[in-house]
Structure 1
Amino acid sequence: MSREFLPGQVIVYPYLWAWQHERGETEGRKTRSTSVVVAVRGANDGLTHLALLAITTQPPEPDRIALEVSDIECRRAGLSDFKRCWIVVDEYNYDVAERSWYIEPDEPALGRFSKAFMMRIAAAFGQASRKSGRRVNRTE
């Protein structure tokens, strides 16, 4: 796979919510806009390890941690059709790009969040991961 993944990119991905995974589901119910929060090339395997965050148009439940995406960030990320949306930071899907069943190698990113907004996302993700972050492993 020659595709490069960068933090802040928004891609189409069949995100599997943690609650669905906990119920035994193995496939995301629909493809959705998803943001790459971490993209790391493995030192031992040379593969691209990804942490992917869901973007939703549904307001988050009170017990969830999510950031609302501003209008300008929606435009940058290719989400102009959304009136309002949030990026959920208290759970994520883990996948390996080169071995993924769900990532199309030639499909371009929808867009990309600004560096400033990505820094806010990364900080919120890091904090949420330490407290209650849930990882759904999509490589199994």
Structure 2
Amino acid sequence: MQPKQGDVWSYEYLWRWQHEEGSEHGRKPRPTALVATVVGKDNRTNLFILPITSKEPVASRLAMEVPQIERKRAGLSSDIRLWVIMDEYNHDILETSFSLDPNGKIGTFSSVFIGKVLVAFKEAALRGRVRSVPRTE
């Protein structure tokens, strides 16, 4: 299955702090929001993946709460609060990824919700508030 913008996937997300400690793999598969897929000049598909968490982010984190209707639409638990974290992301390559399970698609956010996430993510990136965790090695 070809991942596309707005999809929610189970993915071994590698948090920035884990990466800085030298880890190469996430500790567990978790729901993640795929905010962009970009085919590069080398014809490889770049994936830009944001984590989804049930732990309420501290005020210094850039996050957007997932509305209940979006949690339900995306196949996530609708009875717990969830946030998309937008100040860090995993950059992976679809064709060589060891972390993306080809059968791991959970669901899809609406185009309206993922559009809001993408706008906030881009604005934060332009202000230098977003950090990449490369998963392309």
Please give the range of the TM-score, normalised by the shorter of the 2 chains: over 0.9
Matches of 1:34 and 1:138, distance apart in 2 = 14
Residues 1:115 and 2:106 aligned together: no
Q: State the Cα distance separating 1:82 from its structure 2 match.
A: 5.0
Residues 82 and 90 of structure 1, relative CA distance in 2, 3 Å threshold: farther
TM-score using structure 1 length: 0.92
Residues 1:98 and 2:87 aligned together: no
Which stretch of the first structure deviates more once superposed, 73-82 or 86-95?
Answer: 73-82
Residues 64 and 109 of structure 1, relative CA distance in 2, 3 Å threshold: same
1:9 corresponds in structure 2 to 7
2:123 corresponds in structure 1 to 127
Cα RMSD (Å): 1.2
Determine what percentage of the aligned residue pairs are the same residue.
43
Equivalent AA in structure 2 for residue 126 of structure 1: K
TM-score using structure 2 length: 0.94
Aligned length: 136
Matches of 1:117 and 1:49, distance apart in 2 = 21
Unaligned 5+ segments in structure 2 are: none
Question: What are the equivalent positions in structure 2 for 1:1-140 lying under 5 Å apart?
Answer: 3-42=1-40, 44-80=41-77, 83-105=80-102, 107-130=103-126, 131-140=128-137
